[in-house]
Amino acid sequence: MTDLTRRKMLGVAAAGAVTSLSTSAEAAAPPVPTPLPNEDDLRAFVALSSVLTGVAALKLAPTVDPIQVKNQYFDAAKADPALPTLLQMVRSDPDPKNPVAAASKVMNDPKLKFLGRSIILAWYLGVWYDPKKLEAYNTPGDHPFPLNPVKVISPAAYTQGWTWRVAQAHPMGYSEMRYGYWADDPLKLEIYIA
């Protein structure tokens, strides 16, 4: 017969807790810090994104920004080899105060316009569409509907998508709005995007 006492049970529980802590501490490697993006590239990316989406740059990248979702969108766009060309086009614009001209150049360039569309979809939906898929989808013929994104950029990108703000709604299971907000008349869209 086994002699079970409270003291033995607590000893076994404590030994198990210590073992699991040491095992999980060994298994959990320190997180690898993600390198910060080049500030000039990020600034050009946000300026172009502002013109492409119609949302003010200070709304896309506020001065106080604890979420930093712009970095996640920028990282998704960096995977495309055409991004340096796109950013150079924005920087080389003779009139930097008129980013609409740079955006117009991007959206009229057959090699860059699909990357521009991917950037728009990222800001609004929080998902990344491969520019090559968008280009193929744009050709005549039968295409599957809907076109599936490559990935959801991140949970924060999904909850911070501009489609929710423009629709004055929120994603399922996440809301920054107070209870009962739906009973009030909606605010003017300019409050959200300008």
**Length of the chain measured in residues:** 194
- pLDDT tens, residue by residue, 77-99: 999 999 998 888 878 776 666 66
Query: Which residue, among 115, 163, 104, has the nearest Cα to 138 in the 3D structure?
Result: 115
- Considering only residues 175 and 133, tell me which one the structure prediction assigns the higher pLDDT: 133
Among 85-94, 103-112, 168-177, name the one with the lowest average pLDDT.
168-177
Q: At 192, is the pLDDT very low, low, confident or very high (cuts 50, 70, 90)?
A: low
Closest CA to 52 of 94, 106, 127: 106
Q: Rounded to whole angstroms, how far apart are CA atoms 4 and 38?
A: 63
Whole-model pTM: value is 0.71
Range list of H helices, the chain: 6-27, 39-53, 57-60, 69-78, 83-91, 99-108, 113-125, 131-137, 155-159, 162-167, 190-193
CA distance 100 to 53: 11
What span, in angstroms and rounded, lies between the C-alpha atoms of 53 and 125? 11
User: What is the average per-residue pLDDT within 57-67?
Assistant: 90
End-to-end CA distance of the chain: 77
Q: Residue 121: what pLDDT? A: 92
Task: Determine the Cα–Cα distance for residues 76 and 151; give it in Å rounded to an integer.
Answer: 10
pLDDT at position 35 is 55
Backbone angles phi, psi at 32, to 5 degrees: -85, 120
Is residue 76 within 8 Å of 63, Cβ to Cβ? no
